[in-house]
Amino acid sequence: MMDKVSVHAKRAFLSKLLIVQICCLYAIGITAKTYANNVPTFTASAPENIEAGDQFRLMFTVSSTKELADADLTRFSASIPEGFTVLMGPSRSRASKTQVFNGNTASIYQVTYTYILSVPQVGTFTIPTASITVKGEKLRSQPLVLTVTPAGQSSPESDPQSWMNTIVTMSVSERSPRVNTPVVLECKLYTIAPVDSLANMDLYISPDEFKVEPVVLQNNQWQIEHRFGKNYKAIVFRKLLLYPLRTGELRIGNLHVDAYIRKVDETIDPLDAFFNDGNAASTKKRLHCTGITFHAHE
């Protein structure tokens, strides 16, 4: 009896496994066929949560397996909700990347329309569908929902120390420098969460107090560093040479920068995620670091 049950269970398991494999192959075939037929897509992206008054990027992207000329893209139209401030845009940029579909390599060409926006009001807002005509075919993006929280308040986290998962620091080679002697300033990102990009960096350095020379970061790579009882991935994202121009107390201002942190959505099917740049959305987090005071001398 036990052998019969065991055989039946194995058959049921193998049947389910076969169905799953067939479904996966079917989905891969449909997706590959879509790209093979060069059906362009039009998608919208923006942070899910921001603080009132912060700047953020709203992007609408056309993706295609064939490079699109300017004449192929017409009648782009996007509605910005009432109460939003348009600081810039729309600006247009191009990019390309390579992806693998069912063992075949394909180039994906993208044209992105970007707005820089801010929202002074607190609340939940819907960014409506945008549209564009690509080679005579009208495409529409998906709507987005944006939650705006009061300034200085982040969305609730399950970990009470989650604010320490991504931080920025500033360090200098000398706090009591000589006038006209260079001081090395490094701005560094420490993170446990995956960070896609940094933007909107704000760091005030008075031209009356310092001459500033940027340093090109070559072979810049992530390092593992232990801080606050945790292992962080760390990288220097800005390096400057500061030349004090006078004696006395000098100061560089607070550092502010936006980090776009990848937030994995486990509800998205992994197969869909594979063909749509991962099952993640970026959430913006405004990072801060206190300024530094110097005492320059002759």
C-alpha 287/C-alpha 100 separation (Å) is: 35
C-alpha 173/C-alpha 256 separation (Å) is: 21
200 exposure class (CB count in 10 Å sphere: 0-12, 13-18, 19+): middle
Query: Which H or E element spans position 63?
Result: strand 55-64
What is the reported pLDDT for 97? Answer: 66
Which DSSP letter does residue 53 get? T
Question: Three-state SS for 133?
Answer: strand
Q: Give Rg (Cα) of the chain.
A: 25
> For the chain, which residues score pLDDT lower than 70?
1-38, 97-106, 152-163, 264-281
How, if at all, do strands 248-264 and 195-205 pair? antiparallel
**What is 162-296's CATH number, 1.20.1440, 3.40.50, 2.60.40, 2.60.120?**
2.60.40
How, if at all, do strands 230-244 and 223-227 pair? antiparallel
**Sheet containing 55-64, strands listed edge to edge, beginning at the edge strand earlier in sequence:** 41-45, 55-64, 104-118, 85-101
Task: Collect all residues with Cβ–Cβ distance below 8 Å to 9 and sequence separation of at least 6.
Answer: none
Q: Are 62 and 104 in contact (CB under 8 A)?
A: no
Q: Mind giving me the DSSP string for 261-281?
A: EEEE-TTS-HHHHHTTT-SEE
What is the reported pLDDT for 152? Answer: 57
Report domain extents, the chain: 1-37, 41-149, 162-296
- Chain segment 29-44, per-residue pLDDT in tens: 434 444 445 679 999 9
Q: Sign of torsion, CA 243 247 253 259?
A: positive
Same fold, 41-149 and 162-296: yes
What is the reported pLDDT for 153? Answer: 52
Give the number of other Cβ atoms within 10 Å of residue 264's Cβ: 13
Q: Which residues pair with 63 in a beta bridge?
A: 41, 110
C-alpha 184/C-alpha 297 separation (Å) is: 17
CATH 2.60.40.740 for domain 41-149, yes or no, is yes
